[in-house]
Amino acid sequence: MNGFLSVFKRELKGYFATPVAYVFLVIFLFFSGYLPFRDGFFEMRQAGLDLFFANLPLLFIFMVPSTAMRLWAEERKSGSIEFLLTLPVTVSQAVLGKFLAAWVFLGIALLLTFPMPVTVYYLGQPDTGLIITGYLGSFLLAGSFLAIGSFFSAMTKNQVISFILSVSACGILVYAGMSTTVNYLSSMLPSGAVNVVQSLSIQSHFDSILKGVIEFQDMAYFVILIVAWISACAVVLEERKAA
């Protein structure tokens, strides 16, 4: 437990020790606010954050991998990973410590979008339940993409390659559940196969949470996705350590 906390604190402090974290926050906050207004936030004449949450998956496809790409690729390139793994810290503790620190950082980024709900409450009377579930789904979405990015960061020393692979994997999970993709697949595949693809898409489960209903299958999907990719990351690092 002490090893996990040491890695967690070290990693979380590291985010704010360089200007990179602040640049990330500025870019994220700009686009998370700009995209809803570009799509007609005021023209909808509805007090809600539907457009804000709808744009987050596409924004996260690029923003989250940019956070995850340094988790292990930088450690491997600099050679500090050997030093880290010789400390009284297990690989699992190191993986969880780094992952949770990055997830907390992304959570802070989401919390800093508070001007959006404040604006909505100023303009009308939104459904508070929808806003809460929307932020919950967004946090789980960020964690899922981060877990994927952690795996690819552990696979290579090159941060650019890690970023590209993570963006590709996250993009596939999002676009597989979009209506345009589903309609296209429906013209080629039987309905059963299309339903399977749609159920595996992260977009479908995210949209389900945005409706304000938290179902077990949606929560289980995100938990399994995060645990699976984090476990795969730990396996890769265990093999590197053994080698």
Task: Give the tens place of pLDDT for each residue, 154-173.
Answer: 888 888 999 999 999 999 99
pLDDT band of residue 134 (cuts 50, 70, 90) is: very high
Q: Regarding predicted confidence, which is higher, 44 or 224?
A: 224
| 51, 62, 84, 118 from 35: Cα distances, Å | 8, 14, 40, 17
Over 80: is that where the pLDDT of 68 sits? Answer: yes
| 84, 122, 132 from 212: Cα distances, Å | 42, 21, 8
How many CA atoms lie less than 13 Å away from 186 in the CB half-sphere? Answer: 9
pLDDT band of residue 84 (cuts 50, 70, 90) is: low
Task: Give the tens place of pLDDT for each residue, 195-204.
Answer: 777 788 898 8
Task: Give the tens place of pLDDT for each residue, 202-232.
Answer: 988 999 999 888 899 999 999 999 999 999 9
Per-residue model confidence (pLDDT) at position 86: 64
Stated pTM of the model: 0.90
**Is residue 163 exposed (0-12), middle (13-18) or buried (19+ Cβ within 10 Å)?**
buried
Task: Give the tens place of pLDDT for each residue, 97-121.
Answer: 999 999 999 999 999 999 889 888 8
Average pLDDT, integer, range 74-83: 64
Mean pLDDT of the chain: 85
Look up residue 207 and give its two tokens.
């949209």
Per-residue model confidence (pLDDT) at position 111: 95
User: Cα 67–70–74 angle (5° rounding)?
Assistant: 170
Over 70: is that where the pLDDT of 141 sits? Answer: yes
Residue tagged 């979380």 (tokens) = 12
